[in-house]
Structure 1
Amino acid sequence: ASLVDIKGVPDLDSLINKTISCKIVSINIKRKNVVISRKDHLLEEMSQKKQDMLSEINVGDVVEGIVKNITDYGAFIEIDVVDGLLHISDMSWGRINHPSELLAVGDRVKVKILDIDDEKQRVSLGMKQLSADPWQGIEDKYPLNSKVKGKVINILPYGAFIELEPGIEGFIHVSDLCWTRKIRDAHEMFVISDTVEAVVLSLDLEKRKITLGIKQLEQDPWKDIESKYVLDSEVNGKVTGFNEDGAFVEIEDGIDGFVSKNDISWTRRINHAYEVLKKGQKLDFKIIGINKAFRQLILSLKQLRPNPWPQIEEKYKPGTIVEGVITSAFPFGVFVEIEEDLEGLLHISEIDKKSEGSQGGFSPQDRVTVSVVSIDKDKKQIRLALAQDSSSRQEAPDFPQQENKPQEQANDNEAV
């Protein structure tokens, strides 16, 4: 029965009394037995028909066929006795995720012959080739910097694909969504089928890519930043974060600044900005620079006030004896606070060598009487020594205390 038909015959009785053509497969003389195959004859006949048909058709011909099977990568189309593959990439100029979006088994379709393999008797077919390539003349349809509208067809965390017309898509990267807000995921901005307006940023004809931008519909606020934020002017901002060098400050939506830890106080020794500032704290700052490359204003807190070091130099002349509190101890010496936010270094070489311990037995919070050895106003450093004779202490004039300590209240809008 396996040699009766190519696909098998469900009812062998249907062939009774019918004349059929067969091919002799084998002859057994001893047993007086001959094995014939109708299937082999049909296969040879079909192969000949395929050859005849393949010799009649040409690349570029438009033919009609029936969809026999659909797979993930395409569809098989029966054209008379020849099966052709219609690959998913040749179905539409536009984006499709599965062939079943366009075809169903049994559909009668028109296709274009793209390639013929006579040896394997295979034909490659195309549907999209029945219409003109939409990328022809694309530069004229979508010139650079022109405004376009399209439909969101796919969204990824780093951007979205926009269909401008069937077969023509553009891509908007998250960095091109907004001048003033940092978008981390395109899903925050789009949903499928949204209609959006954008600007054409670039065209890559070879890779068939169009780059679009939405933020370019508006002027870049940093383009004329100097006219709005003038050097030496004051602005109000909110502390948003820290790094080892200072603090980040939000001036307004899309305009950020940075204040170095060295620009927080004239006198206070600050290792980390968070020792003085708090996240969410609002303060006034002075603009001392503009970094366009990093889109950042360079800010200062201390420059809202005059430099006090000329007065400090006048007040604490060498030999002046003062009483202070030890704030920290290190192998090289101890720091002594001689007035609020003003420290001097009592170097280990200046500590009485008869004292016990590497810091003369001193600990933080200890009170100590010291004398001023020197002041370097450029480096903002005061060097101290242990006072040898308290009776020779010089009376220092009153030094104005600093006002407004931002660390006391997170939102008092005051500077250090």
Structure 2
Amino acid sequence: MSVDAMSDIFLEAMKQDETAHFSEGLYGNIIKGEVVAVNSGDVFLNLGGKSECIVPLSEFSQLPSIGDSIEVTIKEMREGVNIASKLEADKIKRSKEIRNAFNEELPISGKIEKVVYKESIPKGFMVNLGIDTMAFLPLSQIDVKKNEKLENLEGLTTDFLITEMKRNNITVSRKEFLKTATKKLYAEFFDKHKVDDVVNAKVERVEKDFAVLVSEGVRLFMHISDFSWKFLDDMQKVLKIGDEMTVKILKMEKSKNSIKVGKKQLTSDPWSSVDKKYNTGDVIKGKVISYKKDGVLIEVEDGVEAFLPVAEMSWTEKIREPKKFLKIGTIVEVKIKSIEVEKRRMGVSLRDIQENPWENAEQKYPYGRKVEGVITSILDFGLFVKFDDGIEGLMRREDVDWLDSSVDLKKKFHKGEKIQAIVLSVDKEREKIRLGYKQLSDNPYKTFSLNYPKGSVVSAIVKQILEDRAIVSLEGNLEGFIHISQISKDKVENIKDVLKIGEEVKAIVKYVDLNKNKIEISIRDYLMNEEKIEVAKYIASEKTVASTMKLGSLLKDKTVSLNSGE
């Protein structure tokens, strides 16, 4: 017998059965029935006893099977047959679930369907809560994170909390649901776990200095320093989203929902055996792995780094930028200078395994020796000259030119130029050498003092007049001065009344200061000296006249005497 034939028989039996009806009070209520027959258009249910009903097959999303239990509501009786609806029953049930979810603050499932716009600006989404019951999801209530892309949300079925319900207007929040769910997960995690527990986790986010993992629905924070004992400068080089790992809980703060974890703590600390492997004075090899402001980090072994300060890199070079001296990845040999296991510190030196040229600097660069080097830098106060052994000496500006103490060093010299100099001093302890350029030639002031000792007469040309002195140019382009008190025998109030620029004068050397390269001359002394000379000449000439007159008188007397004798 076909399904349709059985359905017809069942339908006829329902019509003939006088008890196949319900009191009016049961209409609209949800009742449960068992599927007894299905045809091409209807589903027949046995409601218990002699009660039956028909439900349109179109109301089923899936074809029901004989014996299935279905909840329906009676809509009407037509020609003695109870007509029921599964959809109406579903709507009633869903409405009750929605109302209960709002009253009890329980989560309810829904599907995000489309974006709601106002004046072309997205304001939120329409959410289908089931049986065509729609709710509004504001953009601000989508997620606890603000970077969720709208296109990724359409079609998403998820849970919500109903935040507002007025008649047919329902507002939902996914954000509040996530916060509530997360709060519950954190509470469960803190109840279940303690510090030092080991948990499984999956990487959710990776940044350069940290990673965020998820375990049992809660987020765990892992700093780069807790990932491995081995030096690591970027977490993104070793982790990717989705990676799974076992980690150890290091710190828990329930008030902040903060959980800090580490991976390296699951293995032994390499520093625990450092003092057994290494000693101060040992020469070891390591790899340059990182730059610091005042040095570099050297990896001695996985998890053990040593610090090499710039001051310990070279005996002779003044290193300001470590990256210009050592490259990342370079293998270097160094000597251990200190080990502090408690502080996880190891200090090393590169220069200690090299010969220190300063040890023999006093013998190699004695005072007065002529040396040759290359100019490495030119500054306002002087220039630095490097020798073949790496030692650098300083040539100050005042030691460059005997006559020009303000010489422009950058015009006179060039970086990289070879230059000769005289060693003026060596300070082995402070690692300093002072050099002189002008000392390559004789001091013109010394030569002047030899040629014109104190009291010598010199010619000078007035080149500048100051309030209390006149600056003059002397032989050899040397500079001297005449104090206002030495310009004339008479008192001078204003030098310009007595001297003119460009005027040539004669004067006497008063003194030459070789330490300060100063020469003072005196017109007054010269004039007084000239006066003395004139007086001396006059006296000498008077004596000559007197002698001549006396001789003449004697001759005259002699002549008279002779004549008388005749």
TM-score (norm 2): 0.51
| Aligned partner (choices 484, 488, 499) of residue 361 of structure 1 | 499
Shift of 1:221: 1.5
Q: Deviations over 1:123-152 (max 9, x none)?
A: 543211111011113233343343333333
Distance 1:314 1:107 in 2: 90
Partner of 1:151: helix, strand, or coil?
strand
Shift of 1:379: 6.5
Report 1:72-87 matches (<5 A): 73-79=210-216, 84-87=220-223
Aligned residue number for residue 229 of structure 1: 365
RMSD: 4.7
Q: Say yes or no: does 1:196 pair with 2:196.
A: no
Distance 1:323 1:137, change over 3 A: same
Distance 1:372 1:76, change over 3 A: closer
Q: Which structure would you say has the larger RCO, counting Cα contacts within 8 Å and 6 or more residues apart?
A: 1
Aligned residue number for residue 564 of structure 2: none
Q: Which amino acid aligns with 1:218?
A: Q
Q: Say yes or no: does 1:165 pair with 2:301.
A: yes
Report 1:26-41 matches (<5 A): none
Shift of 1:122: 6.9
Shift of 1:333: 1.5
Which structure has the bigger radius of gyration?
Answer: 2
- The size of the alignment, in residue pairs, is 362
Report 1:94-105 matches (<5 A): 94-105=230-241
Aligned residue number for residue 356 of structure 2: 220
Q: Which amino acid aligns with 1:288?
A: L
Distance 1:288 1:90, change over 3 A: closer
Distance 1:140 1:380, change over 3 A: same
| Aligned partner (choices 451, 461, 466) of residue 325 of structure 1 | 461
Distance 2:513 2:369 in 1: 29
Shift of 1:350: 1.4
Given that 1:241 and 1:249 are in contact with CA atoms closer than 8 Å, whether structure 2 keeps it comes out as no
Distance 2:332 2:110 in 1: 59
Shift of 1:192: 3.6
Bigger helix fraction = 2
Distance 1:70 1:313 in 2: 80
| Aligned partner (choices 181, 184, 200) of residue 317 of structure 2 | 181
Shift of 1:154: 2.9
Distance 1:67 1:377 in 2: 80
| Aligned partner (choices 146, 154, 165) of residue 290 of structure 2 | 154
Distance 1:333 1:48 in 2: 94
Q: Which amino acid aligns with 1:254?
A: G
Q: Say yes or no: does 1:385 pair with 2:519.
A: no
| Aligned partner (choices 250, 263, 276) of residue 140 of structure 1 | 276
| Aligned partner (choices 504, 509, 526) of residue 372 of structure 1 | 509
Distance 2:255 2:516 in 1: 87
Q: Deviations over 1:248-271 (max 9, x none)?
A: 444446323234566567xx5543
Distance 1:77 1:276 in 2: 64
Aligned residue number for residue 428 of structure 2: 292
Distance 1:356 1:198, change over 3 A: same
Aligned residue number for residue 116 of structure 2: none
Q: Deviations over 1:75-104 (max 9, x none)?
A: 22324x766544444222234455444444
Aligned residue number for residue 21 of structure 1: none
Distance 1:105 1:179 in 2: 48
Aligned residue number for residue 126 of structure 1: 262
Partner of 1:286: helix, strand, or coil?
strand
Distance 1:129 1:350, change over 3 A: same
Distance 1:207 1:248 in 2: 40
Q: Say yes or no: does 1:279 pair with 2:416.
A: no
Q: Say yes or no: does 1:107 pair with 2:232.
A: no
Shift of 1:172: 3.2
The sequence identity of aligned pairs, in percent, is 28
5+ residue gaps, structure 2, are: 1-96, 112-127, 131-161, 163-175, 535-566
Q: Which amino acid aligns with 1:362?
A: K
